[in-house]
Structure formats: C-alpha cells, structure tokens
Amino acid sequence: MIDKRVSTLADMVADCPDLRDGAIVLIGGFGDAGVPEKLIETICELGLRNLTVVSNNAGSGDYGLASLLKAGCVGKMVCSFPRSAGSIIFEELYAAGKIELEIVPQGTLAERIRAGGAGIPAFYTATGFGTPLAQGKETREFDGRHYVMERAIRADVALIHARTADRWGNLTYPKTARNFNPIMAMAAATTLAEVRRFVDNVAPEEVVTPGIFVTRMVEIGER
C-alpha cells in the first residue's frame, strides 16, 4: 500500500540520500508565505555544506531559509530578490564574499523550474534581453523579436509546504502560499513536503499537486 506519510521531520530527512553536501535544493515560498520552515530547520541540523539553494528570496530574520544560511550550509543562492526587508544574514554573507549569488528574473526562475520538472532542457524568453542578466547567454530572433535562451533547473531535493495531503501525496496549498511550491515539487529527484493537515482523501478536482510528484511528507499542524 502506498503511504508517503512519515511521522517526524527528523525521520524524513534522515532517510533522504539526496540530501548531501553539494546538493541542489529547491525551497518553496515567496517572502514568508509557503516557506517550509520546520523542514528547513530540521535540515539545518544535518550540518550539510556547499548546498546550492534555489528560492525566490534569501530568507529574512534568523528563521526558515535564513537559519540554513546562518548555519553555513549554503554555498550558492539562486533567487530573484535577495534584498527583502530583514534579509540580514544573506546580506552579511554576500558582503563578506562567503556566498555566491545568481540573480534570475522571477518569471524566468519559475519557468526554469517548471521546465526542469517537465523534461524541457531549455527555452527562449524575451525577459531580460538586452540587460545585464542576459550577458553571455545565447539569443535568437523569432518573428522579429529577440529572445534569450534559459536552461532548466533540475534539483536533487525540493522542500515544499502544503495545506492538506492524503497518503498518496496529493496536495493542496493555502492561498498565495502556493507560489513556487507546486512547480518545485515537479523538478527534483526527491520531493519532501511539510503539510499542515493530513486528510483521508483530497478530492480529485481539488488536487493542485498530484501525488506522483511527492516522495515523503510530514504533518506539522496548523500555524
């Protein structure tokens, strides 16, 4: 019987060979909405090094993604907006030259992840053409307009936050906390979810992420 539910976060991350030094890790969320904070904080304790983290922002305060940065686990951030209010830990690491940064336009970041999950190795977008963020990238003209080639992102692990899940891993999300979570769930070898509430069955019409994209998950309770 398929059952992707695990009882504790510690058990879930301990049994995940893809979580290793140098891994590429997708982390869902936008600002503080939909960030799998409890899952990240559990991973902090593994003491991993040189992770490449792909997430829209670079954390704020000293919780969630910022705690992973503070623990020295991250060698490179791939994100669109690392300068949010309270993004102090990232800014300190960046100023000290202790972390690499790849800035990606937000929609290009989303599509690179979606493409990774969908088996598309690269795509062309008009976003960024003629700007510093297109430097060194292949460009091509289609129907009189210029486009930049962007590569897909495939990761070792995706960490996501969901609202409800059933044992098959079918997920729903809370309001705008959906954001990057569904596309990240598609784009990693292993997808780990923290879920507010397990239910017997997510109604098929209401499933946002079909269970095929989810590896393991833990119930964390309502906030």
Partner 1 sequence: MVKALSSEDIARRVARDIPNGAYVNLGAYVNLGIGMPMLVADYPVPGREFVLHSENGLLGMGPAPAAGEEDMDLINAGKQAVTILPGGSYFHHADSFAMIRGGHIDISILGAYQVAANGDLANWALPGPKPPAVGGAMDLVAGARQVWVMLATHVAKDGAHKIVERCDLPLTGLNCVHRVYSDLAVIDITPKGLVVTDMVAGLSAEELEAKTGAPLAFAESCRALLSGRAA
Q: Is 162 exposed, middle or buried (0-12, 13-18, 19+ CB in 10 A)?
A: buried
Q: Is 154 in the site for partner 1 (CB under 8 A)?
A: no
Q: Find the shortest distance in angstroms from Cβ 130 to partner 1.
A: 4
The DSSP-derived string for 137-165 is S-EEEETTEEEEEEE---EEEEEEEEEEE
Where helices occur in the chain by DSSP H, the ranges are 9-14, 37-44, 65-70, 88-95, 106-118, 181-186
| φ/ψ bin of 102: left (φ > 0), alpha (ψ from -120 to 50), beta (otherwise) | beta
Q: Is 96 in the site for partner 1 (CB under 8 A)?
A: no
Q: Is 75 in the site for partner 1 (CB under 8 A)?
A: no
* Binds partner 1 by CB under 8 A, chosen from 10, 46, 88, 103: 103
Q: Is 82 in the site for partner 1 (CB under 8 A)?
A: yes
* Binds partner 1 by CB under 8 A, chosen from 180, 193, 195, 214: 180
* Binds partner 1 by CB under 8 A, chosen from 80, 164, 170, 191: 80
By CB under 8 A, name the binding residues for partner 1: 30-34, 56, 58, 80-85, 90-91, 94-95, 101, 103-111, 113-114, 125-133, 173-183, 208
